[in-house]
Amino acid sequence: MKIKVPFNYLPLQFKNLNPYIKQWKLLAKSSEFTLGPFVEKFEKAFSNYLGVKYCISTNNGTDALILCLKSLGVRPGDEVITVTNSFYATAGAIAAVGAKIKFVDTDSRYQINIDMLKKKINKRTKVILPVHWGGASPNMFKILKIARKKSIHVVEDACMGIGAKIKKKRPGTFGIVNAFSMHPLKSLNVMGDGGMVVTNNKKIAMWMRRYRNHGMINRDKIDFWGVNNRLQPFQAVIAAKELKNLTKIINKRNVNAKIYDRNLRKIKNVNLPDRPKGYLETFALYMGLFKKRDKLKKYLYMNGIETKVHYPTPLHLQKPGKKLGYRNGSLPISEKQSKELLTLPVHQYLNKDQINYVIKTIKKFYKKYD
């Protein structure tokens, strides 16, 4: 029997708007539509959640990354090291401040390859920008150690890492200043765009609060030329409510992922990443390497199962990556992975029958085509 297994959970998550409407009415009445108490309330809640001193909300995750790099004075002539398998914005943010992107290959968990990272550091390296890709984390302790030795900064792209843990420490608490996204497909999401920067550094926080809001000291006075990167209060209401559900969402995704892990590890055509001890993943994405990926993807789709590929082309082989001089074979691990990577639906609204149906269908495929 065919069961539908959708990838998209948003219509289910936002089916009942009543919890938000009450707050939105209060917001409308207050007409505090630019920053103000609703935004501040969320910023406080999020910095408490992470255990960091300062949270500065932004209009999206991409701008959060750009603000991080700008706050450290990254500029043309500087180099920033990041991983080639990430969302476009990681590299786009580096380009936006005029710095040179140095791509590093992946490891067997599709994270930044730390052994190879060391070799990319030179006198112009200003920042290492590791990504918590898919809601899993690279070994941040090792990255910090390398950065400290060379006196360079670490900025975390924690856009997918909200709620993860590495030995009890959360993404966003390792780097000097770090970025999050609340895009609809992240673990903590709003109805559109939103993001945050977090830091324990007072000087950076003070600069960023002003820069994000035109450099304003008050209505009549500015400190320096700034920009408008403000989070919408309408979204802050959603973010504050959803933050309360975050632990439950991550737990449910972990339950689903465990069932996948247990069953899919037995299939010889499937290669899943290690789950190192002490790492809590959020399973923003449940990824694995699947032989005959494209054919399997089609087969699953025909059987009602929606999957995605994150991503079929690593960043260094995209058009602007090639302009930097990268070619086929430049970063071979990620290139090989990109041909077999598949992301299965793992979201919090799936039930056991749906998960088991996905497993059964994958098994059926390999029986038929192996």
Ligand X SMILES: *Cc1c(COP(=O)(O)O)cnc(C)c1O
Which of the residues 199 through 238 are near ligand X (CB under 6 A)?
A: none
Question: Which residue, judged by CB position, is nearest to ligand X in the bound state?
Answer: 61
* 60 near ligand X, judged by CB under 6 A: yes
Task: Give the nearest distance from C-beta 82 to ligand X in angstroms.
Answer: 10
Whether residue 172 contacts residue 156, with contact meaning beta carbons closer than 8 Å, is answered with yes
* 90 near ligand X, judged by CB under 6 A: yes
Which CB sits closer to ligand X, 138 or 269? 138
Q: How far is CA 308 from CA 97, 227, 245, 272, 326, in A?
A: 31, 35, 25, 16, 25
Task: Give the nearest distance from C-beta 10 to ligand X in angstroms.
Answer: 14
Task: Give the nearest distance from C-beta 89 to ligand X in angstroms.
Answer: 4
Contacts of 83 (CB under 8 A, 6+ apart): 90, 103, 104, 105, 106, 111, 112, 113, 130, 131, 133
Tokens of 270: 């499937």
Q: Which stretch binds ligand X (CB under 6 A): 21-29, 58-66, 227-235, 249-257?
A: 58-66
Which of the residues 2 through 31 are near ligand X (CB under 6 A)?
A: none
Task: Give the nearest distance from C-beta 277 to ligand X in angstroms.
Answer: 24
Task: Give the nearest distance from C-beta 98 to ligand X in angstroms.
Answer: 19
Q: How far is CA 236 from CA 36, 78, 227, 233, in A?
A: 10, 34, 19, 5
Q: Which stretch binds ligand X (CB under 6 A): 40-48, 154-162, 226-234, 245-253?
A: 154-162
* 61 near ligand X, judged by CB under 6 A: yes
* 193 near ligand X, judged by CB under 6 A: yes
Contacts of 77 (CB under 8 A, 6+ apart): 99, 124
* 103 near ligand X, judged by CB under 6 A: no
Tokens of 78: 């500087």
Task: Give the nearest distance from C-beta 289 to ligand X in angstroms.
Answer: 20
Bridging pattern class, strands 79-83 and 125-129: parallel
Q: Is 167 left (phi over 0), alpha (psi -120 to 50) or beta?
A: left
Out of 23, 47, 82, 86, name the contact with ligand X by CB under 6 A: 86
* 140 near ligand X, judged by CB under 6 A: no
Out of 43, 78, 156, 157, name the contact with ligand X by CB under 6 A: 157
Q: Which of 332, 352, 370, 337 is nearest to 271 (CA)?
A: 337
Which CB sits closer to ligand X, 316 or 365? 316
* 87 near ligand X, judged by CB under 6 A: yes
Which CB sits closer to ligand X, 56 or 362? 56
Tokens of 107: 């490891």
The DSSP string of 13-53 is HTS--HHHHHHHHHHHHHT--SSSHHHHHHHHHHHHHHT-S
Which CB sits closer to ligand X, 62 or 113? 62
Q: Which residue has the tokens 């290690």?
A: 274
Query: Is the Cα dihedral 74, 313, 136, 148 positive or negative?
Result: negative
Task: Give the nearest distance from C-beta 311 to ligand X in angstroms.
Answer: 11
Separation between Cα atoms, residue 195 and residue 179, nearest integer Å:
7
Using CB under 6 A as the binding criterion, the count of chain residues that bind ligand X stands at 15
User: Could you list the residues that contact ligand X (CB under 6 A)?
Assistant: 60-62, 86-87, 89-90, 131, 157, 159-160, 181, 183, 193, 195
